[in-house]
Structure 1
Amino acid sequence: MKYLVSVLMGAMSYGVLSTIVVLAYGEGYQLGEVVGSQLVTGFILSWLLVLYTKLREKRKQGRSGSVSTAAIKISPKLTWKHRLLLMLAGAPTVVTGLLYYQSLRYIPASFAIILLFQFTWISVLIQAISKRQRPSKVMLWTLLVLLGGTLLAAGVMEQGAATFNLLGILLGLLSAVSYSMFIIFSGKAVPTVHPAYRSAWMVTGGLILLCILFPPYFLFNGLLWGPLLVFGLLLGFFGAFIPPVLFAIGVPHIGEDMAGVLGAAELPVAVLLSSFVLHEQVSELQWLGVGLILLGVIVPELHKVMRLGIRRLGTR
């Protein structure tokens, strides 16, 4: 149960981000400042976790007097090729953040998170094209449910498509594409390395890319030592630090399929906060759409879990 809760809390942490970003925009901060403060905080916290991990392993080695198998796994020999791969794998997270956060300038946060959640079918489409395999019937039905849920949750049925900002919609969909690429690349980038090291180097790569795109003037002009510091700490804590740590703890014990089910908790959290904190209007029909999207995400993953369970029972 504690591993299930760990992954669930990690997913819910992601749902907090859009509300914090909108509040930061309300204070007059720009895109580069918001994302930059988030990554600086995530960078510091991630490397502090690496330092803590190293110190803890040294203590264990000192008590046992020998290097354990766990210590070898936690303190791998990272080459610069490995570091470069991890930094490249972290780059899509920055692109996702930039696109997603910029979309919040044009469309409501409750709509932006729905567009970001289209990564569920976009990632399936990308993998189907790369492997030259047709999606299964279950996945095709899932895509139809997701499409219907998206139309309802976005309020298209009530307000019409003409009321939405096309640039905001495009940015939101591009953030979903970028997030899909991150999921695909991050799972393949040096998977044997301890999560603390992987996370730290991926955040480092993201920070380097962001500094190229948006020079971090806020670090030197005194802007950071105001409300931006609070927003940066919150975004870094809930976005760049807590979820990777909690996922690293829970996913190995519950499996990626169940983690995908629990990961859907991000959507209702984001919509709830948009409604209660930002006072965005979310109708009953839109909540029905959110429910359909969750159904479209959860059912295929539960189907995989059930099939795997049946196979295991058959082998006993």
Structure 2
Amino acid sequence: MKYYVAVLAGAMSYGVLSTIVVLAYGQGYHLGEVVGSQLLTGFLLSWLLAMFTKFKQRRKALQADHRQASVASAQATQKLTWKQCLLLMAAGTPTVITGLVYYESLRYIPASLAIILLFQFTWISVLIQAVMKRRRPDKLTLLTLLILLGGTLIAAGFLEQGHSEINIRGIALGLMSAVSYSLFVLFSGKAVSTAHPAYRSAWMVTGGLILLCILFPPTFLFNGLIWSQLLVFGLLLGIFGAFIPSVLFATGVPHIGGDMAGIIGAAELPVAVLMSAIVLHEHVSGLQWIGVIIVLIGVALPELYKYQISRSKSIYY
């Protein structure tokens, strides 16, 4: 259960980001500056956690007896190969791509439609898993995806706003964000899953930061802008966007699987709606709140079903 909670908490932390980004944009900061400060903070926090983890491992080895200490010490000082590090860095790049293409899509299509397109990762994740494993999703998974899709459409306000003029470029960017997010969910569980989550997270954030620096050179580090209010936004975005999700996904996804992680990740939407209503004072209609509740039901449905099955077996035996 703790691995399900870890993935759920990681997804919920993503829901906070949109509110923070809107506040940062309101202060006049640009996409490269906001995302750059976010990943820089996440990079520093992730490596601090990695070094603290290494220190704890070595300390534990010293407290063991002589025979056990040699084994524990070997495990503590075991290093990832460069091939493994590069693999983890590559696995971290989809998060950067997701953020960039999603925010770029907002220039061409309404926010409600962009959110809907982003949340297509629910069925895209399942589709990727089905292709890789060469098996069809079970009926419960299909029902869950149907509930999530319907709830997402309602929660995004799409039914109330109706159809607007379709922009092909915006649609393509929105779907790209969904695909890249699905790849992140998949890679975060597959890439060097035997390594400690703290090390995996640090290298994944490093890969994302390197890619972002190539696309958006971090000029804010040299022109003094980092010491403005951008630092506050960067800390908040780094904690909730780069540090917490990376650590929690690296911890939970290898144990629960990419398909279930993709479903639980939908918890980001209701959190985003709630934060927008409380912090940004945006109007959220009753119909949209119904959509949020439907999404929560879709997220909880698989676990409720498993709980009911296990309870029935315990009563039977």
Structure 1 and Structure 2 fold alike (TM over 0.5): yes
- Per the alignment, do residues 62 and 109 of structure 1 end up closer, same or farther by CA in structure 2, a change over 3 Å counting? farther
Written as runs of structure 1 = structure 2, the 5 A alignment for 1:72-151 is 72-73=74-75, 75-103=77-105, 112-151=114-153
> Which sits farther off after the overlay, 219-228 or 251-260?
251-260
Question: Is the contact made by 2:113 and 2:158 (CA closer than 8 Å) also made in structure 1?
Answer: no
Distance in 2 between the 1:237 and 1:83 partners? 22
For 1:14, the equivalent position in structure 2 comes to 14
Q: Say yes or no: does 1:198 pair with 2:200.
A: yes
- State how far apart, in whole Å, the 1-side matches of 2:292 and 2:166 are: 18
Asked if 1 retains the 8 angstrom alpha-carbon contact of 2:185 and 2:262, the reply is no
C-alpha contact (below 8 Å) 2:151/2:294 kept by paired residues: yes
When normalised by structure 2's length, the TM-score is 0.84
Distance 1:122 1:252 in 2: 16
Q: Is the 8 A contact 1:8 1:265 kept in 2?
A: yes
- The one-letter amino acid of 2:155's match is A
1:293 matched residue in structure 2: 295
Task: After TM superposition, give the deviation of residue 211 of structure 1 in Å.
Answer: 0.9
SS of residue in 2 equivalent to 1:135 = coil
Match of 1:187 in 2: 189
Amino acid at match of 1:123: S
RMSD across aligned positions (CA): 3.4
State the percentage of identical aligned residues: 69
Q: 1:280 aligns to what?
A: 282
Q: CA deviation at 1:156?
A: 2.6
Secondary structure at the residue paired with 1:162? coil
Task: Report Cα offsets for 1:58-86 as digits up to 9, x if no partner.
Answer: 22222325436565555433111111111
Q: How does 1:250-289 map to 2 (within 5 A)?
A: 251=252, 255=256, 263-289=265-291
Q: SS of 2:164's equivalent?
A: helix
8 Å Cα contact 1:22-1:109 kept in structure 2: no
- Three-state SS of the structure 2 residue aligned to 1:293 is helix
C-alpha contact (below 8 Å) 2:193/2:254 kept by paired residues? no
1:72 and 1:82 map into 2 onto residues whose CA distance is 18
AA partner of residue 91 (structure 1): T
Equivalenced residue count is 314
Cα pair distance change 1:219/1:49, threshold 3 Å = same
Q: Secondary structure at the residue paired with 1:43?
A: helix
Q: Partner letter of residue 301 of structure 2?
A: V
Q: Aligned partners of 2:149 and 2:9: how far apart in 1?
A: 27
Contact in 1 for aligned 2:13/2:268 (Cα 8 Å): yes
Contact 2:189 2:249 in 1 (8 A): no
2: CA distance between counterparts of 1:103 and 1:24? 18
CA distance in 2, matches of 1:73, 1:313: 39
- How far 1:153 moved relative to its partner? 1.9
Point out where structure 1 has 5 or more consecutive residues left out of the alignment.
none
Deviation track 1:30-83 (CA, whole Å, cap 9, x = no partner) reads 111111111110111111111111222222222325436565555433111111
Note if contact 1:41-1:232 (Cα within 8 Å) is conserved in structure 2. Answer: yes
Structure-2 separation of matches of 1:97 and 1:115: 13
TM-score by length of 1: 0.84
Per the alignment, residue 35 of structure 1 pairs with 35
Deviation per residue, 1:90-116 (Å, 9 max, x gap): 111111121234345566767655543
Contact in 2 for aligned 1:15/1:267 (Cα 8 Å): yes
